[in-house]
Structure 1
Amino acid sequence: MTIAYHVEIADAHAHLWRVTLTVPRPAPLQRLSLPVWIPGSYLVREFARHLSALEARQGTRAVALTQLDKATWQAACDGRGALVVTYLVYAFDTSVRAAYLDAERGFFNGTSVCLRVEGREEEPHTLTLGALPRGWQVATAMPAQPGKARAWTAADYHELVDHPFTLGRFWHGRFDAAGVPHEFVVTGAWPGFDGERLLADVKKICEAQIALWHGRRRRDVPFARYVFMLHATEDGYGGLEHRASTALIASRRDLPRKDAPSGNGPADGYVNLLGLISHEYFHTWNVKRLRPAEFARLDYARENYTSLLWFFEGFTSYYDDLVLVRAGLIDEARYLKLLAKTVNGVLGTPGRTVQSVAQASFDAWVKYYRCDENTPNATVSYYTKGALVALALDLALRAGGHGSLDDLLRRLWQRSGGGAIGEADIVDVVRAQAGDAIADDLHHWVHGTDDLPLAPLLARFGVTLAPDASAPALAAALGLRVSEGPVSGVQVKTVLRGSAAERAGVAAGDELIAVDGWRVRRLDDAQAWVAPGARFELLLVRDQRVRRVDVQWPAQPARPVQITLDAQAPAAAVALRRAWLRP
């Protein structure tokens, strides 16, 4: 017998799964625990808070369960037969990280529903599903048990919880990429959704990435089958990678439509969706297999710290949009606009001068997933700045005649056998490929807080990075991030460090009422009568009290940058650019 889980619908309207766990040959004091986090999302999420009604027995004998901590129970077994534990899981989390159930669909990750049998993690595990509503289908990349319906098997607990399940009535498509079967399921799409276009475009992404990692050695693809699981919602965006699948959430309006007008390239929302798909698929290599040394053996009971998310998330973020242009899904100008958005996001974050991208990686557990009004002032995103580190390294390698970042990734893959690596491994490969100077540059970019030398690097590729000539909007010029407020329509979410708004005494949470005595519902409306560089009076409300502050519109506000093709670039620069964007 194997460690076995039976998952069934207890009450769809109450959003309850019922799980039955069977443990053959349990220890006299058998510990069971639920993970507190899910790999790929670096925050302790306390999934055990959704468990209830735990009961245990051996045969007809009730077994006492003692809770030892927030997510661990101990069963007092007597050695006579298998331990059978039943419990309910409340499932109403619409994200990709946990579990969901209603009358229309179901979804779960093993980290939310499968108690870990401590000490037995390396043994085979099986999972079966109970009866499902008429017409429901099941999608998962977990290998099916031969000859059994709704039954799957995993080599160990780690594989078990790395295969999410999607259940319900869904659109289902298939394609082969480099000879490997891929499936795509979509729930919640509007009528008129163009599934055939989605399949064709995603196939191009997959083939481009397989070629990047394996070149002509397509037989080395590290999975035999891959499943994309997308849930379309009114307004959502996100994804979580797994070893042979990914769970995705996107807005319905971002899916391709059969009646969409042709010309002008794909819509922005669809490009963002393709970028998300590209990102999560790239993780199949970069973090699920090639992974931080600290993740070689995951601890499901606590934080797993690493300073390398700049590489595993940041470098993946660099390639997600780059693959789109290489696959022919967007043109070079469109790609450079996406790149400019990333650059402006980093330059607009004062925290980039406070925290290195390596420190940001280590602090992900307490900072990245716990954003507040001061986050932009205190930290930098290892996604976006990590992507720019990858860009700088790729350009430096190519411009110096030292190959490319593609080559470096393949060398890392071969050196590690597609396994765990540390920062020293990355630096060693850079040093071997390009010498000490670029290796030292990489260390400075990762552990320092200076801005990256992107403009001169891009110039060598016939690409211009320069400030936008247009004047920034008033809120941006003042260093404010605002949203709709309950009274005035303008509420301050963030005041950037060193900004004009901070000097004037504006604070997060303030509601902005009027400018120079005129009521405003959008702060930028005041540009109709306030000139750049002028002083004005701002009326605001804080803690139910009305206040007036004098604000100086900066004479030389920071401007966002544009990244464009240089029409006058010499032939050598154009050749470098083509090798970079169209290899």
Structure 2
Amino acid sequence: MALVAMSVWTISGALASEGPQPLPLPPQIPAAKDIAYPGTVELVVTATDLDRHVLKVSERVPLPSSVTEKGGDVVLLYPAWLPGHHSPGGPISELAGIGIKSGGKPVPWVRDTVNVNTFHIAAPAGTKELELSFQILTPITPREGRVVMTPEIVNVQWNMVALYPAGYFTRDIPYSVKLTLPHGWHYGTALRASQAPVEDTVTFETVPFNTLVDSPVFAGQFFRKIDLNRSGETPVALNVVADRPEWLAATEAQISLHRALVMQAGLLFGTHHYDHYDFLLALTKELGGIGLEHHRSSENSGPEGYFTKWDKTFPVKDLLAHEYTHSWNGKFRRPADLWAPDFNTPQRGSMLWVYEGQTQYWGYVLAARSGLMTPAQTLDAIAMVAAVYDRRSGRTWRPLADTTNDPIIAQRAPLSWRSWQRSEDYYSEGQLIWLDADTLIREKTGGQKSLNNFAKTFFGVDPGSYVTRTYTFDDVVSALNGIVTYDWASFLHDRLDRPSVHAPLDGLKRGGYRLVWTEEASPYLKAAEALKKARNFDFSLGFTVDSKGVLTNVEWDSPAWNAGLAVDETIVAVNGMAFDGDDLADAVKEAKVPAKDPLTLLVRTRDRFRTVVIPYHLGLRYPHLERVAGSADVLGTILMPLK
């Protein structure tokens, strides 16, 4: 019996399979060019459907004369790669109800089957503009995504509500925008109105599309604007929206600390790169949490007691300082591979340890220098960072540099074993690297120079300009060598590119401190636990548990991990008694007594119950920084206000 032929020879002699062959991909999307777009796109957004969480959008897109004369394929893009997200996170699934017309007549459209944020419109000859209408179906509950519309607050992010023409740098496409808000509401944004509102509709000045996307809006029923600059200075304002009007009650003393933040940032960087700056802050339980940087604004949320429970909310007081720093580091100066000509060109995050890591460092330092956090609170916060990353088990296989890919890999989704997988560790471990660099510069120059000098020379160039300047690894090394000559390339590669057992903690040692452990949680950790309604046993049992007993984190290779516990399981009982966080802490203390029985937990996993035994007898363990006797308090000096 003859064998069935499994392959054939082509005329050229190459072996070819009889199986299917791939179809060609759709045509390439027009590459962005740095040329002016011929006309201004008109965008109108209505943000009044608070009950159904729907944003209504209309858009008029003028077309180039070449399309008007002959017709052709018009390509419109929905933004995918969002600034500050470092990943293609544009909420394309929320775009619905697309209708396109020209001269009142429907025009067909088709979505690209590969680049699904791309829409092809077959424009007939003579078409001068396209009239678009659609809705953005924003999340109703956190289950669907981040909530941006509540009965009291709306967060309009322009990348969510606009399509833009392909083939042009976004800085070359002008947009004219109108926004309709619920009656009587007020708003904050880096955009400026071109005229007084008409029947709750605001008309903003025409700006390039990249500036529009970089200028979100917080609007609310309860709103307060606080000026943070002195007369004659470049305007800086704190725009606050809240679920309740009483949460806006900032005292003059609290306001003065935010003014000090602006002053300390100015002293650090030596100049600014904006013509005005607007902090946007939402104090809310309902709007989705956010911390996002922009060139002339920040987009942040905080707890309802940010002002009214000031002494209890200090663990989040570095957030505004962090995002404000991004105006210099990230927006004005940006890693070359994180800059792109439009919002659909892939970005690469290889330098996020500078973009985010050094910003995280300055966020803590500026919060302390301005008084938003006390030096003691800041030291406690640094102790937590040092402890978490020194014990991060995943660092033994995954170098820090590889975590800069995590926004694309994980898209900030929850992880089962974060301590082993690692996440965006370039933030806080990057912070430790820059503390290391700061103290090393101070040591080598006898305290005459520091990372302050780097900040001023690297980020403080081109005073007043807000045209982005990109940088590379070599640029960072060169700038550090301009402060003090050293093998900075090896210094950085050693900490970025190689797996290691321990975090880079030399900055603590040079700073005059060491990491120690006690059975008493620091005031910082206690306040953080209260804000999160959780108890942190990461450094003892190896897990964090919320007030309902749900495990929100389990550390890899910890006692809890070895006992078989995992995230999202619920502790029902501890040693036969119903779960309570305080009782669990007491049980850990009691288990330290020699010959004491191990902890016994009744655990629920969905509809199953099981008993878990944890043979742990080392007591509670919490991190602190302790002064090294006889050493200079360099870290204390770093946190002192500049003059």
**Greater displacement, 235-244 / 372-381:** 235-244
- CA-to-aligned-CA distance 1:155-195 (integer Å, 9 cap, x gap): 42211211112233311222326811012221114426126
Residue 51 of structure 2 is aligned to residue 13 of structure 1:
yes
1:53 touches 1:88 (CA, 8 Å); kept in 2?
Answer: yes
Closer, same or farther: CA 445–84 of 1 in aligned 2, 3 Å: same
- CA-to-aligned-CA distance 1:352-383 (integer Å, 9 cap, x gap): 33322211112222237123221122215221
1:199 to 250, 255, 258: 255
Quote the residue 1:172 is aligned against. 225
Residue 620 of structure 2 is aligned to residue 578 of structure 1:
no
1:152 to 191, 204, 207: 204
Closer, same or farther: CA 38–99 of 1 in aligned 2, 3 Å: farther
Q: For 1:375-386, what aligned pairs fall within 5 Å after superposition?
A: 375-379=418-422, 381-386=425-430
Q: For 1:511-526, what aligned pairs fall within 5 Å after superposition?
A: 511-514=570-573, 520-522=579-581, 523-526=584-587
Quote the residue 1:112 is aligned against. 160
**Greater displacement, 508-517 / 395-404:** 508-517
Quote the residue 1:22 is aligned against. 60
Quote the residue 2:514 is aligned against. 465
Q: Which amino acid aligns with 1:251?
A: P
Quote the residue 2:497 is aligned against. 447
Residues in 2 aligned to 1:167 and 1:543: alpha-carbon distance in whole angstroms: 40
1:47 touches 1:98 (CA, 8 Å); kept in 2?
Answer: no
1:87 Cα deviation from its structure 2 partner: 1.2
Quote the residue 2:598 is aligned against. 536
1:385 Cα deviation from its structure 2 partner: 0.6
Closer, same or farther: CA 162–516 of 1 in aligned 2, 3 Å: closer
Quote the residue 1:86 is aligned against. 133
1:240 Cα deviation from its structure 2 partner: 0.9
Quote the residue 1:551 is aligned against. 614
1:232 touches 1:250 (CA, 8 Å); kept in 2?
Answer: yes
1:399 touches 1:576 (CA, 8 Å); kept in 2?
Answer: no
2:228 touches 2:258 (CA, 8 Å); kept in 1?
Answer: no
Closer, same or farther: CA 493–139 of 1 in aligned 2, 3 Å: closer
1:288 to 326, 331, 334: 331
Structure 1: tracts of 5 or more residues without a match = 261-265
Residues in 1 aligned to 2:396 and 2:123: alpha-carbon distance in whole angstroms: 57
* Paired residue secondary structure (2:45): strand
1:145 Cα deviation from its structure 2 partner: 3.4
1:16 touches 1:90 (CA, 8 Å); kept in 2?
Answer: yes
Residue 86 of structure 2 is aligned to residue 42 of structure 1:
yes
Quote the residue 1:501 is aligned against. 560
1:386 Cα deviation from its structure 2 partner: 0.9
Residues in 2 aligned to 1:575 and 1:427: alpha-carbon distance in whole angstroms: 23
Q: Which amino acid aligns with 1:233?
A: T
Residues in 1 aligned to 2:351 and 2:612: alpha-carbon distance in whole angstroms: 44
Q: Which amino acid aligns with 1:77?
A: A
1:342 Cα deviation from its structure 2 partner: 1.8
Quote the residue 1:387 is aligned against. 431
- CA-to-aligned-CA distance 1:308-345 (integer Å, 9 cap, x gap): 21211111111112112222444432321221122223
2:44 touches 2:59 (CA, 8 Å); kept in 1?
Answer: yes
Q: For 1:109-258, what aligned pairs fall within 5 Å after superposition?
A: 109-120=157-168, 121-129=170-178, 131-145=180-194, 150-169=202-221, 170-176=223-229, 179-188=233-242, 189-191=244-246, 193-194=249-250, 196-214=252-270, 218=271, 221-234=272-285, 237-254=289-306, 256-257=307-308
1:233 touches 1:252 (CA, 8 Å); kept in 2?
Answer: yes
1:387 Cα deviation from its structure 2 partner: 0.8
Which structure has the larger Rg over C-alpha atoms? 2
- CA-to-aligned-CA distance 1:420-444 (integer Å, 9 cap, x gap): 1122221222234333344422221
1:30 touches 1:76 (CA, 8 Å); kept in 2?
Answer: yes
Residues in 2 aligned to 1:16 and 1:474: alpha-carbon distance in whole angstroms: 41
Residues in 2 aligned to 1:152 and 1:366: alpha-carbon distance in whole angstroms: 37
* Paired residue secondary structure (1:145): coil
Residues in 2 aligned to 1:223 and 1:468: alpha-carbon distance in whole angstroms: 44
1:477 Cα deviation from its structure 2 partner: 1.9
Closer, same or farther: CA 532–286 of 1 in aligned 2, 3 Å: farther
1:39 Cα deviation from its structure 2 partner: 1.2
Q: For 1:66-105, what aligned pairs fall within 5 Å after superposition?
A: 66-69=110-113, 70-78=116-124, 79-92=126-139, 100-101=148-149, 104-105=152-153
1:333 touches 1:564 (CA, 8 Å); kept in 2?
Answer: no
1:346 touches 1:385 (CA, 8 Å); kept in 2?
Answer: yes
1:413 Cα deviation from its structure 2 partner: 3.1
Residues in 1 aligned to 2:172 and 2:159: alpha-carbon distance in whole angstroms: 17
1:278 touches 1:323 (CA, 8 Å); kept in 2?
Answer: yes
Closer, same or farther: CA 243–374 of 1 in aligned 2, 3 Å: same
Quote the residue 2:525 is aligned against. none
**Greater displacement, 391-400 / 127-136:** 127-136
Residues in 2 aligned to 1:469 and 1:245: alpha-carbon distance in whole angstroms: 41
1:360 touches 1:379 (CA, 8 Å); kept in 2?
Answer: yes
Quote the residue 1:263 is aligned against. none
1:143 touches 1:154 (CA, 8 Å); kept in 2?
Answer: no
Q: Percent identity?
A: 22
Residues in 2 aligned to 1:110 and 1:476: alpha-carbon distance in whole angstroms: 42
* Paired residue secondary structure (2:561): helix
1:373 touches 1:508 (CA, 8 Å); kept in 2?
Answer: yes
Structure 2: tracts of 5 or more residues without a match = 1-38, 522-535
Q: Which amino acid aligns with 1:421?
A: Y
Quote the residue 1:324 is aligned against. 367
1:212 Cα deviation from its structure 2 partner: 0.8
Closer, same or farther: CA 537–251 of 1 in aligned 2, 3 Å: closer
* Paired residue secondary structure (1:202): helix
Q: Which amino acid aligns with 1:449?
A: P
Closer, same or farther: CA 580–517 of 1 in aligned 2, 3 Å: closer
Closer, same or farther: CA 131–480 of 1 in aligned 2, 3 Å: closer
1:561 to 623, 628, 631: 623
Closer, same or farther: CA 403–367 of 1 in aligned 2, 3 Å: farther
TM-score of the pair, normalised by structure 1: 0.85
1:392 touches 1:452 (CA, 8 Å); kept in 2?
Answer: no
Q: For 1:418-433, what aligned pairs fall within 5 Å after superposition?
A: 419-433=469-483
Closer, same or farther: CA 343–86 of 1 in aligned 2, 3 Å: same
Residues in 1 aligned to 2:492 and 2:542: alpha-carbon distance in whole angstroms: 30
1:347 Cα deviation from its structure 2 partner: 2.8
Residues in 2 aligned to 1:528 and 1:432: alpha-carbon distance in whole angstroms: 52
1:43 Cα deviation from its structure 2 partner: 4.1
Q: Which amino acid aligns with 1:171?
A: R
1:123 touches 1:155 (CA, 8 Å); kept in 2?
Answer: no
Residues in 1 aligned to 2:552 and 2:635: alpha-carbon distance in whole angstroms: 42
2:598 touches 2:617 (CA, 8 Å); kept in 1?
Answer: no
1:282 Cα deviation from its structure 2 partner: 0.5
Closer, same or farther: CA 544–231 of 1 in aligned 2, 3 Å: closer
Quote the residue 1:480 is aligned against. 543
* Paired residue secondary structure (1:183): strand
Matched residue count = 558
2:317 touches 2:373 (CA, 8 Å); kept in 1?
Answer: no
Residues in 1 aligned to 2:180 and 2:373: alpha-carbon distance in whole angstroms: 44
Residues in 2 aligned to 1:203 and 1:565: alpha-carbon distance in whole angstroms: 31
- CA-to-aligned-CA distance 1:21-42 (integer Å, 9 cap, x gap): 1111254211112112421123
Quote the residue 1:397 is aligned against. 441
Residues in 2 aligned to 1:517 and 1:165: alpha-carbon distance in whole angstroms: 51
Quote the residue 2:321 is aligned against. 278
Residues in 2 aligned to 1:545 and 1:92: alpha-carbon distance in whole angstroms: 32
Residues in 1 aligned to 2:368 and 2:484: alpha-carbon distance in whole angstroms: 26
Residues in 2 aligned to 1:518 and 1:148: alpha-carbon distance in whole angstroms: 61
